[in-house]
Amino acid sequence: MQTMSNLMQQSLAEIDPQVAAAIEAEELRQQETLELIASENHVSRAVRQAAGSVFTNKYAEGYPGRRYYGGCVNMDTVEELARQRACELFSAEHANVQPHSGASANIAVFLAALQPGETVLSLDLAHGGHLSHGLKVNISGAIYNCVSYGVDAETERIDMDNVRALARQHKPRLLIAGFSAYPRQLDFEAFADIAREVGARLLCDIAHIAGLVAAGEHPSPVPHADFTTTTTHKTLRGPRGGLILCKGDDARLVDKWVFPGSQGGPLMHIITAKAVAFGEALRPDFKTYQKQIVSNARALSEALAGHGYRLVSGGTDNHLMLVDLRAVHPDLTGKQAEAWLETANIICNKNMIPFDERKPTQTSGLRLGTPALTTRGMGTAEMTAVAGLIHEVLSSDGSEAALLGVRGKVREMCSQFPLCHDE
């Protein structure tokens, strides 16, 4: 027992130097790189402290006041805080904060709204949709019948007349408005009108834009949707997790299909961190932050266009943009561009563009986003500089000397906007 007691008091570096070294290396990587993946962000010290708290030790199956295990008084406190803050943040009637991820939140809604084999209408993955909205290799597509709508070939925006026509044709039981790579605002009211017309329920997945919605920088789906799902990271800048918002009439149904329907014990340390993040998002400075995310995205897209790159749909209304590489570098794939940029300490992801002729493993485009750089305090001037660095890399033909030269410039820029990793 004394040996175990000693073990419990040792630091990570003492117990597992290999893992400690990997964490230290990741802290350095994040400090020295420009993070442009649209779905990533840097959480606050308070969120990280909550996520690493003693709440990780406790099982709390059930909901506040209705737990399977004893000893959950403090679990009830933090979960109630998270639920209340989420409802206040989004003006929602009910919140379930237990989903482990955005995909878990979506599956719970599918189970609540559908019977196996019923039809879902959602945005095509190749046009910016998400795999948890009915992709055949995902559980959502394996159990349910998914029909896709896409973007218009000329405008590269969602054509609501086409969505309506498909809804009338296929009579879906669930209509989904949401995306993982769409740079324009969604008309949630128009989606709701279509859903009502065909007798469908409406799921709005705002995983990417939740922070923008909370701050009023994007219209909210909550007044129009039956169910609203989101991740709690990305623009919301919380821990990695999920959230479901719904009307009070659906509260019991949603809660039932999260637990015990699709999950067991909740991750109480993550729910605690969600509560902290929602509290941060209720502060006035969060609105300023979200406004800057949008300004930065617009500045970055305009600067890239100035270098000759084509932006899908002509620009962006939110935090992300899709860059078509072919106008400047017709033979350069997104995969190769991503690799060159990573060598230069610029992190992004390859992405298909609408009607892409290349395979998803290669792609003709890149997806870029500004939440993480905005968290570091960068503004529109830095976005112009970042666009120049990206163009320098993509024009280098993969020259090692050129990539290392840009890496040095990136490190210098990052040193001016330090991240705080120490506890």
Residues classed as catalytic: 59, 61, 205, 231, 234, 240
DSSP strands (E only) in 84-196: 94-96, 119-123, 145-149, 174-178
Of 347, 320, 331, 335, which Cα lies nearest the Cα of 395? 331
Please name the residue that has the structure tokens 């992801």: 349
Token reading at 25:
């290396």
Residue 213, classed as helix, strand or coil, is helix
Cα–Cα distances in Å, from 374 out to 71, 199, 293, 306, 368?
Answer: 41, 41, 6, 21, 13
Phi, psi for 293 (deg, rounded to 5):
-55, -45
Q: Can you tell me which residue has the tokens 């406190």?
A: 77
* Sign of the torsion formed by the C-alpha atoms of 351, 380, 342 and 393: positive
Cis-peptide into 221, omega within 30 deg: no
What values do phi and psi take at 366, rounded to 5? -125, 145
Nearest to 177 by CA among 208, 196, 202, 198: 202
d(CA 260, CA 280): 30
| Distance separating alpha carbons of residues 107 and 251, to the nearest angstrom | 16
Beta bridge partners of 122: 148
Answer whether 343's CB lies under 8 Å from 31's CB. no
Q: For the chain, how far is it from start to end, CA to CA, in angstroms?
A: 29
Q: What is the DSSP string of 340-395?
A: HHHHTTEE-EEE--TT-SS-TTT-SEEEEE-HHHHHTT--HHHHHHHHHHHHHHHT
CA distances from 296 to 157, 194, 260, 283, 381 (A): 21, 33, 42, 21, 9
Q: Which residue has the tokens 């019991």?
A: 252
